Copies of this chain bind each other. A is one copy, B any other.
Amino acid sequence: MSDTLFGPDNLPYGLFTTPDAPGHRRLGVRFGDDVLDLGAAAAAFGSLHTEVLRAPSLNALMAAGRPVWQAVRAEVRAWLTDETHRETAARHLLPLPQVRLHLPFEVADYVDFYASEHHATNVGRIFRPDSEALTPNWKHLPIGYHGRAGTVVVSGTPVTRPRGQRKPPSEPVPAFGPSQRLDIEAEVGFVVGTPSTMGTPVGLAGFREHVFGVTLLNDWSARDIQAWEYVPLGPFLGKSFATTVSPWITPLDALDAARVAPPPRDFPLLPYLDDSAGGIEPGGYDLRMTVRLNGHTLAEPPFSTMYWTAAQQLAHMTVNGASLRTGDLYASGTVSGAEPAQRGSLLELTWGGREPLELPDGKRTFLEDGDEVTLTAWAPGPGGTRVGLGDVTGRVTPVE
């Protein structure tokens, strides 16, 4: 296997087509640089789960619940690694370059959080220099907002530069045109499998029952549009034009060896968010992310520094009785570490555009047409291995 990031301890799920059957969407599992055709393999091995593995998206498997996720994962691992099965499995492996990858699940609701203290502090200083960097609520609850589910796209989808209103404080009226401050946000997304009932909160302990897997996520952001629109009801058109996710959804169980304790909390938390109590598993994940622009490394954000965990976000999101649906996607918010080279957005890396980056292909404040952004990440796996998340890439195309 040429790529140890996608070994037998990873086994992420995706959705693919082949050129001879472009309308036939099939579930796959990535193994090295190959894709296992899940439905075909399941039929060949007589799996009890053949029906959900032949579905045209991941939603059926995601909705089947954790016991099925675990059974399928064990089966697939056996097919790919047991001597007795490998020959049969090999007949259903396709080289990655021969397939086209699609958005692997139907997004229900999309929520974006704001969970990095370093990011929120930086943004507060840049956007609201006359106020405290963190709002008074920030350390008491994971701040989040709903985003547009219909514009979540798979890695590789071109991103058209959005147009919109912007108004620098120095101008009397807003102007309209292509965004001049197009940015990225390097995030980690969590995908809900098991739904929940309206009126019944999902507590911290429900995280692993409800969350199916993990994706990298680029929350493309037009800072000029956002700055003018976001008071008082939050980001809207500055974010809603595109959000890119990985073609591969890494099962939560593949990240067990990467679990870490989150940073110490500065305030006692209300019981529904308090993960310092006994019996609660550590909610952080040691994911090492890299952000590249046209191949050049911009930043290496450490996900382990996030103040709020994905389990806390899930508990918060449902504490008012809101239900979960299969396909709900929630993202961490921009991942930024304490160091300047760990910042997950150009807004922070260039301090609001005032400190341009010197790149091999010229200076950059915000994204230019033609720029390609790639997010990658890996996590410690069992026994010194590494578990890779699926890359997220996107190129900016000019608006006509």
Q: Is A217 an interface residue (CB 8 A)?
A: no
Q: Chain A binding site: helix, strand, loop or mixed by DSSP?
A: loop
Distance A64 CA – B229 CA, assembled complex (angstroms): 34
Binds B, one of A79-87, A231-239, A302-310: A231-239
- Chain B interface: which of A92-100, A156-164, A342-350? A156-164
- Are B320 and A231 in contact, CB atoms less than 8 angstroms apart? no
CB distance from A233 to the nearest CB of B (A): 4
**CB-defined interface of A252-295 with B at 8 Å, one 1/0 digit per residue?**
00000000000000010011100000000000000000000000
Q: Which residues of B contact A148 (CB under 8 A)?
A: 109, 146, 322
Cross-chain contact B237 with A151 (CB below 8 angstroms): no
Which B-chain residue is minimally distant from A270 (CB atoms)? B176
Encode A161-184 as 1/0 by CB contact (under 8 A) with B: 011110100000110100000000
Partner of A237, one of B109, B163, B238, B322: B322
Q: A174 is contacted by which of B128, B176, B229, B270 (Cβ under 8 Å)?
A: B270
A163 in contact with B324 (CB, 8 Å):
no
A114 within 8 A of B: yes
B residues within 8 A CB of A325? 150
Given A144-B236, A148-B109, residue A321 in contact with residue B241 (CB < 8 A)? yes
The answer, yes or no, to whether A108 is at the interface (CB within 8 Å) is yes
> A319 at interface (Cβ–Cβ under 8 A)?
yes
Q: Does the CB pair A235–B233 fall under 8 Å? A: yes
Copies in the complex: 2
State the CA gap A160–B322 with chains docked (Å).
10
What B residues does A136 contact at CB under 8 A? 167
The 8 A CB mask of A221-256 against B (1 = contact, 0 = none) is 010010011111111111011100000000000000
State whether A399 touches B174 (Cβ < 8 A).
Answer: no
A99 to B375, CA, bound (A): 52
Given contacts A146-B148, A163-B319, A240-B317, 16 further A-B contacts (CB under 8 A): A109-B148, A109-B149, A109-B150, A110-B146, A135-B232, A140-B167, A140-B173, A145-B235, A146-B240, A148-B322, A162-B320, A163-B320, A230-B233, A231-B232, A237-B317, A241-B322
A residues lining the B interface (CB < 8 Å)? 108-111, 114, 127-128, 135-137, 140-141, 143-151, 153, 160, 162-165, 167, 173-174, 176, 198-199, 201, 222, 225, 228-238, 240-242, 267, 270-272, 316-317, 319-325, 328, 399
Cβ contacts A to B, 18 pairs, < 8 Å:
A109-B148, A109-B150, A135-B231, A136-B167, A141-B228, A145-B233, A145-B236, A150-B325, A153-B198, A160-B198, A160-B321, A163-B201, A198-B241, A222-B320, A230-B232, A233-B234, A237-B316, A240-B322
